[in-house]
Amino acid sequence: MLPLIGILIVIVGFALRLNALLVVTLAGLATGMASGQSFLDVVAAFGKAFADSRYIAIVWLALPVIGLAERAGLKERSRDVIGRIRAATAGRVLLVYLALRQITSALGLVSLGGHAQMVRPLVAPMAEGAADHTHPSLPASTRERIRAMAAGADNVGLFFGEDVFVAIGSILLIRGFLEQNGIVVEPLQLARWAIPTAIIAFVVHGARLLLLDRQIARDAAVARRQEDAP
């Protein structure tokens, strides 16, 4: 049971809101050393894992480009464009993004979205711009809720959409786990049965996004009453 100390370190570290990278690293070191490995062996395992998956760091090359685009006014432009569409609301904008994210993920294009490269510079400002168009002077708490729902739309669309694509890591992980427990399932079968789950996830979260517009309207009404109060 001693190697499970890494789980305790992760729980305590996250509960104390410590640096996530530091907490995970300490948990890995503690787990490795508790299982009988030396400190150098654990560090060597970290290095090998990083070297084997170094291609993942390529995504960080896009961050400077996104930063330059934001500095040039990308967020402001996206708000202005969506604000000119009268039928656009925060819930409808996020619903469209949820559909696009889920469809593209189902086709294996999982890198087309993401929090850093899509939600923060484009999707969230567009949803805020649509909300501002219908309900000016929104409180800060409502804006935070819109940003959170934008991030949630990306998470739900990716998580439940990617399993529909056969050649994806999650499908292979599920297949390997089931095979270890004596259940042989083909990847195509897993992808086929992921379709109903993806549809249900879209309906449930889509309803939450449409209800977001009502919540925004209530928050705006409360804010106006507070402003008009003597």
Domain of residue 205, residue span: 60-228
Q: Based on the fold, state whether residues 32 and 122 are members of the same structural domain.
A: no
Q: Based on the fold, state whether residues 2 and 111 are members of the same structural domain.
A: no
Provide the angle, in degrees to the nearest 10, between the axes of the packed helices 140-162 and 90-106.
20
Query: Which of 5-14, 97-106, 146-155, 170-179 bottoms out in mean pLDDT, i.e. has the lowest?
Result: 170-179
Q: Based on the fold, state whether residues 131 and 219 are members of the same structural domain.
A: yes
Using the predicted structure, report yes or no on whether residue 145 has a pLDDT greater than 90: yes
How confident is the model over 18-73, as pLDDT tens digits? 888 888 888 888 888 888 888 888 888 878 776 666 555 555 666 676 677 667 67
Q: Based on the fold, state whether residues 191 and 154 are members of the same structural domain.
A: yes
Q: Based on the fold, state whether residues 32 and 93 are members of the same structural domain.
A: no
Please indicate, yes or no, whether the overall pTM of this predicted structure exceeds 0.95. Answer: no
Q: Based on the fold, state whether residues 43 and 100 are members of the same structural domain.
A: no
Q: Which of 9, 29, 52 is the last residue of a domain?
A: 52
Q: Based on the fold, state whether residues 109 and 212 are members of the same structural domain.
A: yes
Token code pair at residue 147: 């940003």
Q: Based on the fold, state whether residues 11 and 48 are members of the same structural domain.
A: yes
How confident is the model over 191-211, as pLDDT tens digits? 888 899 999 999 999 999 999
Q: Based on the fold, state whether residues 20 and 81 are members of the same structural domain.
A: no
Q: Based on the fold, state whether residues 146 and 211 are members of the same structural domain.
A: yes
> What is the pLDDT at residue 209?
93
Burial of 170 (0-12, 13-18, 19+ CB in 10 A): middle
Quote the number of domains for the chain: 2
Contacts of 124 (CB under 8 A, 6+ apart): 146, 147, 150, 151
Q: Which of 14, 30, 52 is the last residue of a domain?
A: 52
How confident is the model over 126-139, as pLDDT tens digits? 898 888 888 877 88
Of all residues in the chain, what percent carry a pLDDT higher than 90?
22
Q: Based on the fold, state whether residues 157 and 190 are members of the same structural domain.
A: yes
Q: Based on the fold, state whether residues 198 and 106 are members of the same structural domain.
A: yes
